[in-house]
Structure 1
């Protein structure tokens, strides 16, 4: 009898968000060894913040379920992987399911992506999962595609990593479910992340004098038809993007050798 996978779940929407409960149910169909360690409240956009030098509090919510007060998704993964799971690290870290897509350059500030990234840095297979929303029609998230196709997507990535030793040490995976009915989903596609010509983040004026928001008022154009943005919304595919952990561009290291001169 094989040993069940040790799965750690986190998110950035908070431990009481509906997406993480859906993911918890999916994970329990994959393994009996599931832990949930998540922020006590919303940490969207937290990126890979680590709370160095700041005391954090753990609230046990139930068997193998913990809320970290004020903690980021990365904090939660660190606490789970190195302490709360009893000293044995996770095999898989699942982050999500996020309310809204995490696509293109936005993954650089995504707390959902950071949870999976920290999982991979801790030696696990990291998978970030998000349910897309068509904001031109409604801001309400409909979880049906993630509920219907989440387990298959996770199992496929786990099987792919198992067949390729060392893959989880090279990359984590960013998964998005399209905002359409489950029977309209057009399969699962490996796609690149959209690179924008410039950041989509903008100053957005508040109604309160002297205050403002940071927001994404519109998606920058043009978009690559083969990228995650277009394949999710126009292609109605479950998009899967492998994201490298090694951020060095070795080609540029070689090409620029000597270009900076001697100090």
Structure 2
């Protein structure tokens, strides 16, 4: 099994080290193609019309300068591994949870989505963070449970055009694995936030919207302490709306 790893925190990020450790337990044919720096929130951006460069850090490990996770997966499939394309793409492990609507803008999730667009299994993995507590991120649960969750998905994943978003709880207690929908929000939590520097500002997530559905990913991860697995689809067409509108629109 050939595994390709990417992420959006950068090739040197601690989560990449953890993901490489996990991948090494699953295969001896592991390739890394990842951004040279942080691409958090890049979503599924491609660097069309802009020259990129690539650096080989070590055998089978490449940093793409200025590239997004989607760029990196494209480089892996169509250039570096074009004669034997990957069987699985692992994206992460991300520093912080990717849940609900936020997964739509996640570069980590986009790496898995691009794998599905190439017709192979894509799995995005994120280690959740207790932002209120602060302090360094603890990767212990990712090391303890990551290989098992990924192995289960490799063995049992179903459907064409499906990719998977996995989030791992922080803290000592992990209650199991739940396959759950992504939380939909009535309104996006992404907002303007002023900087202390005059004339500057941030785009950030100010807080978790409420109410949370107890059966969906946010609640299950943060309150039930479960590893959440959310199958996502490439096909975004709303078939019911398309059928309802068919023949009813006029010029």
Map 1:1-263 onto structure 2 (within 5 A).
5-161=1-157, 164=158, 167=159, 169-181=160-172, 184-259=173-248, 261-263=249-251
Hey, what's the Cα distance between the residues in 1 that align with 2:107 and 2:197?
27
Most deviating of 84-93 and 59-68: 84-93
Per-residue deviation, residues 96-138 of structure 1 (Å, max 9, x unmatched): 0000000000011100000110111112100000000111222
Hey, what's the Cα distance between the residues in 1 that align with 2:42 and 2:182?
20
1:139 positional shift: 5.0
Hey, what's the Cα distance between the residues in 1 that align with 2:151 and 2:5?
15
Gaps of 5+ in 2: none
1:144 positional shift: 0.8
TM-score by length of 1: 0.93
- Alpha-carbon contact 1:133-1:139 (below 8 Å) kept: no
- Alpha-carbon contact 1:11-1:73 (below 8 Å) kept: yes
User: Alignment length, in residue pairs?
Assistant: 251
Per-residue deviation, residues 233-260 of structure 1 (Å, max 9, x unmatched): 111000000011101011111122233x
Per-residue deviation, residues 190-227 of structure 1 (Å, max 9, x unmatched): 00000000000011001111111001111111110111
Gaps of 5+ in 1: none
Hey, what's the Cα distance between the residues in 1 that align with 2:36 and 2:212?
36
- Alpha-carbon contact 1:133-1:140 (below 8 Å) kept: no
Hey, what's the Cα distance between the residues in 2 that align with 1:227 and 1:200?
17
TM-score by length of 2: 0.98
Most deviating of 63-72 and 134-143: 134-143
